[in-house]
Structure 1
Amino acid sequence: MLIGHIKEIVRHPVKSLRGEVVNTSKIMNYGLYGDRSHAFFDDTKGDFLTITQFQEMVRYQARFVGEESLDNYPKVEVITPEGKVFDWDDHELIEELETKSKRKISTKKYTPSHVPIGPIAVEHILLTTDASLEHLEELSGKKEVDIRRFRPNLFISLIDKVPFQEEEWIGRRIKIGSEVEIELVGYCPRCMIITVDPDDAQRNPSLLKTLVKERKSNFGVYASVIKTGDICVDDEVILLD
């Protein structure tokens, strides 16, 4: 059954930095090509550095530059809030992040053939829908809620605009385009990250309070990759029997 189309594809070359919107992507066995393939490591705590510890990370834009290969990822660039462009592991950028976060930072990266389940943390792909976002705006009383707060990989425009119907698909598979199949496996419980404004990194807890009250903190669903392949914006999304 045709349920919608891909409205937006977002990958995050560096964990917790602002993602990049792309028109096409390969779906690998670990998710979108290059998603969370690079990460900053908090040597002070012995764990990945994320928005939870350093919320200004949302203002740094990460992007791939160059030809994409199944052997090696392209170069990763980071654009700072001031508009400076660095290679993601440039010493000057690391020093800036260390100064702002007050932490000792190192870098970690994966390869296209390696499953980076550590940085992804839970599952391969995070999916949300336009109907659910619109309903959340109504529940929260906000004129517009920025989808970037939720950091989805796939943002689906539904034909039947029933909010949160993606939660009913858990345990079922959907097909995207002509090749890719994913299986919906669970809810995505939200944390303080959605309270951080993607533009200025300021926090406002009201959105999370709404989700806790109305949706048991859940928004979006996780999916595992069943069949790899290529996807594009506007691809049909089909709920399989």
Structure 2
Amino acid sequence: MLIGHIEQIVRHPVKSLRGESVHTSKVMNYGLYGDRSHAYIDETKKGNFLTITQFPEMVQYSASFQGEEQYDSYPKVLVETPEGAIFNWDEQILLHEIARKSKRDVSTVEYSPSHVPIGPIAEEPLLIVTDASLKKLEDIWGNGVDSRRFRPNLILNLTDKSPFIEEEWFGKRIRIGHEVEIELVRYCKRCMIITVDPVTSERDSSIHKTVIKERNNHFGVYASVLKTGSIQVGDEVHLFS
């Protein structure tokens, strides 16, 4: 059954930095190619990842791959700072800036293009939201919603504009385009990260309170990868039992 098409594909080359919207990408076993494949480590917290939770201003730094997706090595990863300066993601001047602003000792970690472990990705390979659910959340919250608050990998433009209908598809397969198949597995339980404005990095707890009250703290759905391949914006999305 045709349920819609891919409206947006978003990957995050560096964990917790602003991602990049791309027209096409490979879907690997771990999710979108290179998603959260690079990360900053908070050495003051026993080597945990440095994330928006500790340093909200991370959302104002944009990360992007420069070049074609390769299986043996990543293209160059560039980071644009809030002031518009551009550095290689592991350049010392950038690391010193992040360390100074976050008041933490910062190091880096990079994973293989063939395998990014679940830890940096989150809890499942792909996070999906729909246009209908985003629109409904706007109505419930009473404000415009920037989808980047929720850090989805895929935004689906649905034929049936029923909000939260995706939550009825757990255990079902979805085919994207001609190659990729995924299975919707469970809700995404939300944390304080959605309170951080993706443009200004200012916090507004009211959106999280709304999601907790009206949606049992669920927004978006996780999916596992059944068949890898390439996808692109505009690809048809089909649902199977």
TM-score (norm 1): 0.98
**One-letter amino acid of the structure 1 residue matched with residue 202 of structure 2:** Q
Shifted more, 109-118 versus 213-222: the winner is 109-118
**One-letter amino acid of the structure 1 residue matched with residue 129 of structure 2:** T
Partner of 2:145: 145
- The CA distance in 1 between the partners of 2:122 and 2:151, in whole Å, is 13
Partner of 1:201: 201
Partner of 1:66: 67
Provide Cα deviations, 1:100-146, integer angstroms capped at 9, x if missing partner: 0000000000111123222012000000000000000010111x100
Given that 1:36 and 1:116 are in contact with CA atoms closer than 8 Å, whether structure 2 keeps it comes out as: no
**One-letter amino acid of the structure 2 residue matched with residue 57 of structure 1:** M
Q: How far did residue 54 of structure 1 move?
A: 0.3
**One-letter amino acid of the structure 1 residue matched with residue 177 of structure 2:** G
**One-letter amino acid of the structure 1 residue matched with residue 65 of structure 2:** F
- The CA distance in 2 between the partners of 1:101 and 1:75, in whole Å, is 25
Given that 2:36 and 2:116 are in contact with CA atoms closer than 8 Å, whether structure 1 keeps it comes out as: no
Alignment of 1:21-60 (within 5 A): 21-46=21-46, 47-60=48-61
Given that 2:171 and 2:184 are in contact with CA atoms closer than 8 Å, whether structure 1 keeps it comes out as: yes
Partner of 2:12: 12
Partner of 1:100: 101
Shifted more, 8-17 versus 66-75: the winner is 66-75
- The CA distance in 1 between the partners of 2:81 and 2:142, in whole Å, is 32
Given that 2:41 and 2:108 are in contact with CA atoms closer than 8 Å, whether structure 1 keeps it comes out as: yes
| Residue 120 in structure 1 maps to residue 121 in structure 2 | yes
| Partner SS for 2:45 | coil
| Partner SS for 2:44 | coil
- The CA distance in 1 between the partners of 2:79 and 2:96, in whole Å, is 14
Partner of 1:130: 131
- The CA distance in 2 between the partners of 1:42 and 1:58, in whole Å, is 16
| Partner SS for 1:44 | helix
**One-letter amino acid of the structure 2 residue matched with residue 7 of structure 1:** E
Alignment of 1:149-164 (within 5 A): 149-164=149-164
Which structure 2 residue ranges, 5 or more long, are not aligned? none
Q: How far did residue 68 of structure 1 move?
A: 1.9
- The CA distance in 1 between the partners of 2:122 and 2:141, in whole Å, is 28
Provide Cα deviations, 1:135-173, integer angstroms capped at 9, x if missing partner: 00010111x100010000000000000000111111111
Q: Where has structure 1 moved over 6 Å in runs of 4 or more?
A: none
Please report the RMSD computed on the Cα atoms of aligned residues, expressed in angstroms.
Answer: 0.7
Provide Cα deviations, 1:16-46, integer angstroms capped at 9, x if missing partner: 0000000000000100000000000000002
Identity score, percent = 66
